[in-house]
Structure 1
Amino acid sequence: MKPIKAIAHSLFMVVALSACTPKMTFLNSTIAPAATGGVSVKKDKNNNYVLNVSVMNLAEPKQLTPAKETYIVWMESDENSVKKLGQIAPRSKALKGELKTTSTDKPKEVYITAENDATITYPNGDIILTTKR
């Protein structure tokens, strides 16, 4: 009987832990085909959602056609509201970029747009990467 309880407990822990840290993967981009990455989402002790956005091979925005000034990360929540999460910039030879941010809303979709102005409050440019299927 004890082995069954141990197995059941182990399975419960695996399911519980995987439910707490979902990974959203960015889909292939037609604008920046080499770009890859994803978003990990964790709930913190204050019931906020901590999002870690990471990308690789994301070309400098000035290299796009037409050229842009910056990349902005956006989130669509379960309530279908759009929220600006911040800027992400490719660095190093691997063109890696990272952004860690917190939201009170649960993310349904995360996407990155190329924009001419970092102060915008609603997405206006082309969607470069998205987790939407």
Structure 2
Amino acid sequence: MKTFKYFLFIAAVAMLTSCASTAKFPVSRDVPAANIVAKKKQDKNNNYVIKLTAENLAAPGRLSPPKNNYSVWIVTKNGDVKNLGQLSFRNAKKVVLEAVTPFDAKEILITAENEGDLAYPEGIRISRAKF
């Protein structure tokens, strides 16, 4: 019985340490109806899988001033900013971006941009959250 309890304790600890980190974005003044959540977990290759889900996000063309796309960025542990990708949708209620990166993100942010292949965020900051 003691061995069984010990095994259960080890299994519970292993499950808790393998769970994903979650970042819930605060309400944005530019897109207040948007509900945005990001999850980060490490895969078997020691890369980080980041899955961002945005619901009720207005089209970037409806912003003031209008933009062409939403870009997703991460801030790494050493403070570098990396472009994770773009949120692309056509009149969607729900948008999902799943990306794999070798960088451990401490923060994630969304900006509205005119260009999609930028090296650093330049546009309107929509929202930012910490993992």
Normalised by the length of structure 2, the TM-score is 0.88
**Does residue 17 in structure 1 map to residue 15 in structure 2?**
no
Q: After TM superposition, which residue ranges in structure 1, 4 or more long, deviate above 3 angstroms? A: 90-93
Q: Distance in 2 between matches of 1:3 and 1:52?
A: 36
More strand by share: 2
For 1:101, the aligned partner's letter is A
Q: Distance in 1 between matches of 2:44 and 2:106?
A: 20
Aligned residues: 130
Q: CA RMSD in A?
A: 1.8
Note the C-alpha offset of 1:89.
2.2
**Does residue 86 in structure 1 map to residue 85 in structure 2?**
yes
**Does residue 114 in structure 1 map to residue 115 in structure 2?**
no
Normalised by the length of structure 1, the TM-score is 0.87
Aligned counterpart, 1:131 = 129
Equivalent residue runs for 1:47-62 within 5 Å: 47-62=46-61
Q: Distance in 2 between matches of 1:49 and 1:8?
A: 26
CA-to-aligned-CA distance 1:53-87 (integer Å, 9 cap, x gap) = 11011100011111111100000000100000111
Q: Distance in 2 between matches of 1:40 and 1:105?
A: 14
Structure 1: tracts of 5 or more residues without a match: none
Structure 2: tracts of 5 or more residues without a match: none
Q: Distance in 2 between matches of 1:32 and 1:54?
A: 15
Q: Distance in 1 between matches of 2:61 and 2:127?
A: 16
Answer yes or no: is the 8 Å Cα contact 2:83–2:119 preserved in 1: yes
| Percentage of matched positions with identical amino acids | 33
